[in-house]
């Protein structure tokens, strides 16, 4: 029944990056994200000139077109070039974020910078707004908008490297003092996003007002050892090498999807040619199959085999009928 659940040997796979930079305003989130993206593409395309490198970087700008201010800026020996950009204004719905990502990918962008993701959480039309206006419970909101946001920010939905930024704000709590009297206490800076979003990222950098970044989450294990350090293209170079240290499963998935689409088209054409539409409807009505266009590759392959059996049976019956007709005519 569960054709997509297979036992496999574990292996290190090539990955798309899911990196986040959190910091207060003015600490360097945007420049840091752009420098990481530049370092990644410079590692991938060492033969390209800088103008071509920057064209492979795209940015979704929710910060009042401030990304324009960084073009031409010289930082650590690097000049920020002209990158692709979409200026995203309210409403800051997840659907509009995803549209921007797809549009930039169609323009040849390979590293997407989302600056910032905080608007998708608390901006007008964002997730909190979506949940509150509709008075829905979080189960519905998670399914309809939060989970798609996670897919988008981790590169799963678009199959591309994604670097997001998040604003931080001072967090306060009410707690009793030594005399038991309630008082307001500062708890430090907190990213403007859902608390659990950091768990979805591979690497999270916190940047202070001196522009030093420290990894507070690091699946690579590389950046922990660096300690506080200003972000530079070196971060992107290190990140890209780590991401590439595995098998290219994305190429395998693309080839598999091409095979799936080819088989589906072939099956549809043969069903019409052999007059087997009723048989196809009967097959698709079975819970383990379902609509062929949505089926897993393993199901499509088995469907094609079953279709071959039906075709051969029909050809055999037709041949026998022709032989009977020939005998009768004699």
Same domain membership, residue 221 and residue 124: yes
Q: Per residue in 7-35, pLDDT tens?
A: 888 777 788 999 999 999 899 999 999 99
- Distance between terminal CA atoms of the chain? 52
Residue 107 belongs to domain spanning: 18-247
Residue 122 has pLDDT above 70, yes or no: yes
Q: Is residue 321 part of a domain?
A: yes
Same domain membership, residue 98 and residue 196: yes
Assign residue 168 the CATH number of its domain: 3.40.50
- Residue 41 confidence (pLDDT): 98
Q: Is residue 34 part of a domain?
A: yes
Same domain membership, residue 215 and residue 110: yes
Residue 83 near residue 57 (C-beta atoms within 8 A): yes
Identify the DSSP state of 200.
Answer: G
Q: Is 59 helix (H, G, I), strand (E, B) or coil?
A: strand
Same domain membership, residue 203 and residue 98: yes
Same domain membership, residue 283 and residue 225: no
What's the mean pLDDT in 111-128? 95
Distance (Å, rounded) from C-alpha 7 to C-alpha 100?
37
Q: Per residue in 70-87, pLDDT tens?
A: 999 999 789 999 999 999
Same domain membership, residue 310 and residue 279: yes
Same domain membership, residue 179 and residue 39: yes
Same domain membership, residue 158 and residue 53: yes
Same domain membership, residue 324 and residue 186: no
Same domain membership, residue 243 and residue 256: no
Q: Is 119 helix (H, G, I), strand (E, B) or coil?
A: helix
Identify the sign of the CA torsion 170, 173, 177, 183: positive
How is 142-179 classified by DSSP, letter by letter?
A: IIIIIHHHHHHHTTTTTTSEEEEEEEEEEEEEEEE-TT
Q: How many CB atoms lie within 10 A of CB 139?
A: 8
- Residue 187 confidence (pLDDT): 44
pTM, two decimal places: 0.72
Q: Is residue 58 part of a domain?
A: yes
Distance (Å, rounded) from C-alpha 161 to C-alpha 243?
10
pLDDT band at 239 (very low <50, low <70, confident <90, very high): very high
Q: Is residue 199 part of a domain?
A: yes
Question: Strand pairing of 229-230 and 212-218?
Answer: antiparallel
- Residue 172 confidence (pLDDT): 45
Distance (Å, rounded) from C-alpha 192 to C-alpha 29?
14
Q: Is residue 8 part of a domain?
A: no
Same domain membership, residue 261 and residue 133: no
Last residue of a domain, one of 203, 230, 247: 247
Query: What's the total number of domains in the chain?
Result: 2
């Amino acid at each position: 029944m569960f054709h997509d659940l297979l036992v496999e040997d574990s292996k290190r796979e090539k990955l798309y990056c899911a990196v986040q930079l959190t910091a207060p305003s003015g600490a360097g989130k945007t420049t840091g994200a752009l420098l990481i993206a530049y370092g990644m593409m410079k590692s991938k395309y060492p033969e390209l000139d800088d103008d071509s490198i920057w064209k492979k970087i795209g940015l979704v700008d929710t910060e009042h077109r401030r990304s324009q201010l960084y073009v031409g800026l010289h930082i650590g020996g690097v000049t920020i070039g002209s990158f692709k950009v979409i200026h995203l204004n309210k409403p800051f719905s997840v659907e509009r974020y995803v549209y921007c990502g797809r549009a930039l990918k169609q323009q040849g962008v390979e590293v997407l910078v989302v600056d910032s993701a905080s608007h998708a959480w608390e901006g007008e039309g964002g997730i909190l707004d979506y949940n509150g206006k509709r008075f829905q419970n979080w189960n519905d909101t998670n399914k309809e908008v939060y989970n798609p946001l996670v897919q988008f920010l981790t590169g799963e939905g678009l199959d591309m490297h994604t670097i997001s930024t998040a604003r931080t704000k001072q967090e306060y709590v009410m707690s009793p003092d030594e005399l038991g009297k309630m008082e307001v206490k500062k708890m430090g800076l907190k990213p403007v996003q859902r608390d659990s979003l950091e768990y979805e990222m591979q690497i999270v950098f916190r940047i202070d007002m001196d522009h030093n970044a420290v990894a507070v989450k690091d699946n690579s294990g590389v950046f922990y050892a660096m300690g506080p350090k200003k972000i530079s293209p070196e971060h992107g170079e290190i990140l890209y090498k780590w991401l590439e240290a595995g098998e290219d499963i994305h190429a395998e998935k693309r080839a598999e999807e091409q095979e799936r689409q080819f088989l589906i088209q072939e099956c549809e054409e043969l069903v019409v040619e052999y007059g087997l539409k009723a048989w196809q409807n009967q097959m698709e009505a079975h819970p383990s199959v379902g609509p062929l266009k949505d089926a897993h590759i393993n199901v499509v392959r088995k469907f094609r085999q079953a279709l071959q059996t039906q075709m051969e049976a029909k050809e055999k019956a037709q041949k026998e009928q022709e032989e009977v007709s020939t005998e009768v005519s004699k």
